[in-house]
Structure 1
Amino acid sequence: MKSFVVQYLISMLYLTALGSVWRVFFERLYDENIILFTTGNIFAVILINKIQFLRSKICILIITLIDLYVIVFQHGVRFQLISLLILLIIYLLRHFMNEYNYEEIPTEAVKKGMVLSYMVIMQFTRSRVKGLPEETSEDMKSRITEEQAEAIRRWKDSKYGKETIIIVRKIPFAIFIFLGTVVFLTIRTIG
């Protein structure tokens, strides 16, 4: 949970900096197209979080100084609560998916119809056991057959075999459709 909070705080710094930079250079355009810029800023922040260098202490210090400069010497910060809220929702959903999307099970418990994670498929590439699955898209189209399940159980006792494997849990997606609809309607009503 600590890493989640740190990641969100770093994202808030970048989101505030991006919004401030756009506002300083393109104030009128930014104000007229706030939804477009907000969406772009959120996607940019998500991409920035994937680049390790931009999460370094020096980059975070620079972004913090930019934020402080804009707050003190420019317009001040016009906090976009909706942007920060959307970012929080996105991060909470990503955290939920990362925490609960996968399940570690004993290798001998693998059954027909399960979906294997990418990591497990990568472990199979070195093995000489015949019949192992060679690819997965981590969706229902990638469910394994009974023959593949048996090959995986044989793989457990081979040279590269493991006692446990990671499968993809089947998560009901209706809740995410509902939440997306609520967020969309909220943004549409507010904007």
Structure 2
Amino acid sequence: MINYFFYFFILIILIIGTYTDLKYGIIPNKLVGPVIIIGFIYKLFFSFSIDLLITIFITCFISLFLFFMKIWAGGDCKLYLAIILLIPDILVESSFYGISYIIWIPILAFLIGYFYVIGDSFYQKIKQHKKSNNLKVKVKNDFIRYLKYYIVIIFLSYCMNVFINYLNLQINMWLYTIIIFGMVYFLIKTSVLESKYVIGVIAFIDVFLGIIQIETLFNKRQLFIWLAVILTSLMKHFNNEYNYEEITIEQLKPGMILSTSSSYIFFNDTLSKYKKISDETLCSRLNEEDIEKINDLKNKRDYIYKITIMKKIPFALFISLSTFMIILGGMFI
């Protein structure tokens, strides 16, 4: 009976959180804060177990990682934390394909969000009769970048295997993967992979050592991966073209994100106090002070009255839908 009480409580939290996110663009702390505290106390004193604690710790880590990587906002992070601390133990301990039901919540949320963005982009294309700009060039550049990283990753993997075998070490698969991608990330950040000569030398070594072979490049699995890369890149750039919205400056609210082109207008204006370049991520969300600076320039420049912002994606709605799907599926366990 207590499980149904928690299901009902979660439903209320999701409805209120989705409503405030859609209407005001925020999920208030006074909604999720007390819920997180109550859920933590309940789990600690009434349903504590080591396995349960480990699963909740992993989901908390995932949530905070997505927040600090600016993949989702703080409100979405806190809403998810509130859900996993309230959700009945039977769902926490149950798994699908070896993954806990509560870890499936953000996975499903991102899938729902992805299809939402695709659907909205097609709708906007039909509505605006807009031609896509340089899609072929953008997809080609993405595919070349993928090939470059592919060449480097298999080279580093080969070197790693030689090193491990030489020292007769045993390394966990996850640690092995983290080390490889950590090295690739370091090379990207240091701009080493921007050099055509570096990529050319690595590609030559791959071919010379037999790391790259015709059979490995053109088997069905690799061709399928290449097709997936092309389609993913195509959809990404297609969606990006319809990911903007034009509004008046009076409509600006804290949390909105300026387009890069709009931020350049303010950045380059000598009378502007707003001197930030938007990278169109959550890092570039506007605050009250930013909006005051933009309004100040509007009062000085009569021709500046409309700007372009990134369209808000109602992620709280996707979290709510995925949670509902998980709970509905969990009732048949």
TM-score normalised by the shorter chain: which range applies? 0.5 to 0.7
Q: Please, what TM-score do these two structures have when normalized by structure 1?
A: 0.55
Counterpart residue number, 1:23 = 161
Q: 1:2 to 1:144 in 2, by over 3 A?
A: farther
Equivalent positions of 1:19-168 (< 5 A) are 19-27=157-165, 28-29=168-169, 32-71=171-210, 96=236, 99=240, 103=244, 105=246, 109-110=248-249, 111-113=251-253, 114-117=256-259, 120-121=262-263, 123-129=265-271, 132-135=273-276, 137-139=283-285, 142=287, 147-154=292-299, 157=302, 165-168=307-310
Q: Distance in 2 between matches of 1:41 and 1:126?
A: 41
Q: Distance in 2 between matches of 1:40 and 1:166?
A: 40
Q: What does the per-residue CA deviation read over 1:104-123, in whole Å, with 9 as the maximum and x for residues that have no partner?
A: 747xx332213325665455
Post-superposition shift, 1:129? 3.4
Return the structure number with greater helix share: 2
Q: Distance in 2 between matches of 1:142 and 1:100?
A: 25
Q: Distance in 2 between matches of 1:123 and 1:149?
A: 10
Number of residue pairs matched by the alignment: 156
SS in structure 1 at match of 2:199 = helix
The reply on whether 1:3 has 2:141 as its aligned counterpart is yes
Q: Please, what TM-score do these two structures have when normalized by structure 2?
A: 0.35
Q: Distance in 2 between matches of 1:71 and 1:62?
A: 14
Q: Distance in 2 between matches of 1:147 and 1:65?
A: 56
Give the gaps of 5 or more residues in structure 2.
1-138, 322-333
Identity among equivalent positions (%) equals 22
CA radius of gyration, larger in:
2
Give the gaps of 5 or more residues in structure 1.
179-191
SS in structure 2 at match of 1:62 = helix
SS in structure 1 at match of 2:180 = helix
Counterpart residue number, 2:72 = none
Q: Which amino acid aligns with 2:252?
A: K
Q: Distance in 1 between matches of 2:245 and 2:300?
A: 16
